[in-house]
Structure 1
């Protein structure tokens, strides 16, 4: 429970506002729980600080709805909204705890969630049915701490940005959705290539190259899975001068799109890292962006952007 305010009732009880359960709770003055006013009902339809984005084989768009503690889903045209999840503990199947990213598994359309504050990956069917959850907070192989990014590689493995440990981890996924540790790469730090400081968004190209938003180092890095070589992309000025980039996504044509959150813009790069395009919103007819967080691509060429502080999802065409 996260108390934000309290008051006394006429009959001598205490009413407490519980921010994360979206609820009012009643207690006696001795601290005994009496009851809930709203039962932690889900908030009304809409998004509140939307983060990660995913698209399934039918073109449906999934959003990790951060403050609302849930996953939202829409058809490609924004119709037929549905949602699932609630603020809760790891012991409650289907609970969501500040999920930062979402990715759809090719072939199954299962939804994998980077459940950041629970230090885990959580798995749902595309209709919201809970499947499983896995991950333990720690620094050992396979442990994760505040993971903010998930992505599938062409070989079916899942890569996870383990921001609390300054690294990326790869997991093999079994038929039940559970991950088994394969490898980790990257180390905490700021000076060298391969050093990571709050690695966040992550995406994998068709050739297996892993792209990482190295957020607090104000840069993007790529990792060649075949050679183990890291390459840094950052500039002192211009299009590739990033400030707190939270998201990175490989487009179907192989170009790299960065959610350059601190500069309120998106940046397009060629696979060699050359930045060729940047937009802050008006150029796309979308108004000003306010901390864009993630970018996803639909099968029809649509580009989706989660615009955090404007509390919206934008759809554009390049």
Structure 2
């Protein structure tokens, strides 16, 4: 097997720029959709359709393990436990231990500053709360429908609530999906509608949020100012409701696409944006589900992709998050230091994009990395042009994020032999001393 026929042209050009890339890892889930117990290392535990993720101030991670009918917790030592749900779909247990209760297909989880955990108990049409290991109902009477505004939240009707969030004041927000509304429970337990008029569709930007149309709102997040971000899924948009009650589109054009990175978020395409999160500095993170990416909108309104290459699959752990494969990322959370947590639904995993002092910087230089000999039918050599010999790893990655070849040497030149790669576009990545150099690589066999 050979990499090239006798007439191969391969050139790698690194353009002048430098970007930061967080490293992605799996922190929970072994990829098998199942339940294999608690009290074990989270990365070897089985999850089954992890739909949402949250993180508390101490760094504990909470998972809406949807098809296991449980809420799981990964503590800071990496051990996973069940904190709510006995695994049997149903409704029971209020006033007792949360682990003895029945919940049904939970799709949302949130934790407030006091450590209370809130569950979007979707099929039970209610919001449950865990306080000191005891579960109670805080919204919804268990019957699907709409009703109860301006009254007690526990007497109100919800319809398939998809997610839940809290603000710093202790208010609770619900993406009441099948009612096409966002509901709010104040600290007195009174529920109101804060966005959506109940009719599915798109309308209302630059006006009162309660007059606007939403279309299957899913994710929800609230910033430190009290502004609400709504993943308006079937409108392919993120909507923002200001603390004064005015709604606008924050990201997305309304057309399903992956276009628009490095430009205005309102000119970018999204595709089934199901989850949304916001950090303390105002950056907004979007679980762009069918684009298989996590997108970020900075304070200036510019959107970028920060995790996922845009192709469904699983790969990339230990490398830059932007070169990893995700598969239906439906939930996203961010902690106080910038770590990003992803509910990688179809991969049955929770991924973490790690922000730390060991974050790799992807360097690109205004010079060529030489690939030779050309032509060849036996091997390929990549000359890094680094001045000193050091430990380098060179990998060739295909468009699906799979590493098709990799070699590590103590040198500034790496030679890969006896391999065969079809014509196409690849990514050549060289890692050395915590730095990464990368750019596209074109393989062309001239017949």
TM-score using structure 1 length = 0.78
For 1:205, the equivalent position in structure 2 comes to 223
Contact 1:124–1:132 (Cα < 8 Å) also in 2: no
Contact 1:216–1:244 (Cα < 8 Å) also in 2: yes
**For the pair shown, which has the larger CA radius of gyration, 1 or 2?**
2
Q: C-alpha offsets along residues 12-40 of structure 1, whole Å, 9 cap, x if unaligned?
A: xxxxxxxxxxxxxxxxxxxxxxxxxxxxx
Q: Distance in 2 between matches of 1:168 and 1:185?
A: 5
For 2:380, the equivalent position in structure 1 comes to none
* Residue 146, structure 1, aligned to residue 168, structure 2: no
- 1:64 Cα offset (Å): 0.5
Residue in structure 2 matching 1:180, options 187, 190, 201: 190
For 1:37, the equivalent position in structure 2 comes to none
For 1:190, the equivalent position in structure 2 comes to 201
For 2:118, the equivalent position in structure 1 comes to 112
Contact 1:252–1:297 (Cα < 8 Å) also in 2: no
- 1:80 Cα offset (Å): 4.9
For 1:277, the equivalent position in structure 2 comes to 305
- 1:83 Cα offset (Å): 4.2
Q: Distance in 2 between matches of 1:180 and 1:191?
A: 27
The secondary structure found in structure 2 opposite 1:220 is strand
For 1:29, the equivalent position in structure 2 comes to none
Q: Distance in 2 between matches of 1:238 and 1:180?
A: 40
Q: C-alpha offsets along residues 186-212 of structure 1, whole Å, 9 cap, x if unaligned?
A: 133323133211100000011111000
For 1:305, the equivalent position in structure 2 comes to 342
For 2:436, the equivalent position in structure 1 comes to none
For 1:238, the equivalent position in structure 2 comes to 260
Runs of 4+ in 1 over 6 A off after TM superposition: none
- 1:84 Cα offset (Å): 3.2
Q: Distance in 2 between matches of 1:274 and 1:63?
A: 29
Contiguous gaps of at least 5 residues in structure 2: 1-33, 38-45, 95-100, 150-155, 206-211, 262-267, 310-315, 356-447
Q: Distance in 1 between matches of 2:74 and 2:138?
A: 23
For 1:95, the equivalent position in structure 2 comes to 102
User: What is the alpha-carbon root mean square deviation over aligned residues?
Assistant: 2.2
Residue in structure 2 matching 1:287, options 324, 336, 341: 324
Contact 1:219–1:232 (Cα < 8 Å) also in 2: yes
Residue in structure 1 matching 2:291, options 263, 274, 295: 263
The secondary structure found in structure 1 opposite 2:346 is helix
For 1:25, the equivalent position in structure 2 comes to none
Contact 1:171–1:183 (Cα < 8 Å) also in 2: no
Q: Distance in 2 between matches of 1:143 and 1:299?
A: 34
Residue in structure 1 matching 2:184, options 166, 170, 173: 170
Report how many residues are paired: 271
Higher relative contact order (CA 8 A, sep 6+): 2
User: For structure 1, which segment, 218-227 or 85-94, has the greater mean C-alpha deviation from structure 2 after superposition?
Assistant: 85-94
The secondary structure found in structure 2 opposite 1:191 is coil
Contact 1:214–1:221 (Cα < 8 Å) also in 2: yes
Contiguous gaps of at least 5 residues in structure 1: 1-41
